[in-house]
Amino acid sequence: MSVLSKDKYCRWIVFLIGVFLIFYTIQGIASQGISTSAELPPLSVASDTHQQDTVIVYYRETLGGTREALESASLTIFSDGYVQVYRPPYMKQAGSYEAYLEPNALDNLWHMLTDRKILEFDSTLVRNKIQEVKQQQRALLAPVESISDAPATLIEIYPNRYKSSEIFEPGDSNAKKNISWRGLKWTAEHFSSIEEIQYLISAQQQLQVIMQRTDLKKLNE
């Protein structure tokens, strides 16, 4: 066999080995069930009859400081009044629970969550109002406190999936109002004159009441 032929033969063998290595690598990844973040649902839905596109409210309060890495409890409410509560393993009564809101209770909650003070909540505007109050407090030599370790409140609302609201992008079922605020309780206590914050904490308290309902039934896991 000539030197040229041997060189072509060696390159052909190397090519085949490379193909087989790529094939087995792909098979190995598939067998491990690895998926991208885009394929992972942001919410955990236990029932096949309650799909993610019927979620109307999602609520979560993450821990603050060094505890932020811990999983948080959450509340998911669907358009038919179905409620799912999740408590992570480190909490008492950990697991997933379900219940149904009565129509009147769901309507009352929805009326609060789709009020202008919620759907038009502007974090930047509210923070500017807080700064104004702080400046007034300094002028009066009043103590100004701050927070460094506080939970963060997250509320997601889909205004057009239950009873559409003309205030917020009418007609789009995927339109979402996302509100995130760190230290909501502390802010409400120290800035009682800011209406948006007072309304937001009232909405949060209503969601917390639902999470503590006595008729919650634990789901089989």
**CATH number of this structure's domain 41-218, picked from the four choices 3.40.50, 1.10.287, 3.30.1560, 3.30.450:** 3.30.1560
> pLDDT per residue over 99-118, tens digit each?
999 999 999 999 999 999 99
Express each pLDDT in 164-216 by its tens digit.
656 655 677 888 999 999 999 999 998 999 999 999 999 999 999 999 999 99
CA angle, 61 as apex, 55 and 65 as ends, to 5°? 150
The pLDDT of 81-94, averaged and rounded, is 91
Instruction: Note the helical H segments in the chain.
Output: 3-31, 103-113, 116-119, 123-139, 184-190, 195-211
48: its two tokens:
């096949």
Q: Is the pLDDT of residue 26 over 50?
A: no
Residues above pLDDT 70, as percent of the chain? 66
pLDDT at 67: 59
> Can you give the pLDDT at residue 3?
43
Q: What is the pLDDT of residue 91?
A: 86
- Does residue 56 register a pLDDT over 90? yes
Q: What is the mean pLDDT of the chain?
A: 77
- For residue 144, the model assigns a pLDDT of 53
Q: Report which of residues 5 and 163 the model is more confident about.
A: 163
* Coil, strand or helix at 27: helix
Structure tokens at 199: 């309304």
The yes-or-no verdict on residue 97 having pLDDT over 70 is: yes
Asked if 124 contacts 163 with a C-beta cutoff of 8 angstroms, the reply is no
Residues 114 and 165 sit within 8 Å (Cβ to Cβ): yes
Element (DSSP H or E) covering residue 181: strand 177-182
Residue 190 φ then ψ, to 5°: -95, -15
Lowest mean pLDDT, pick from 39-43, 154-158, 179-183: 39-43
Domain boundaries, given as residue ranges, for the chain: 3-37, 41-218
Instruction: Please check the confidence at residue 33 and state whether its pLDDT lies above 60.
Output: no
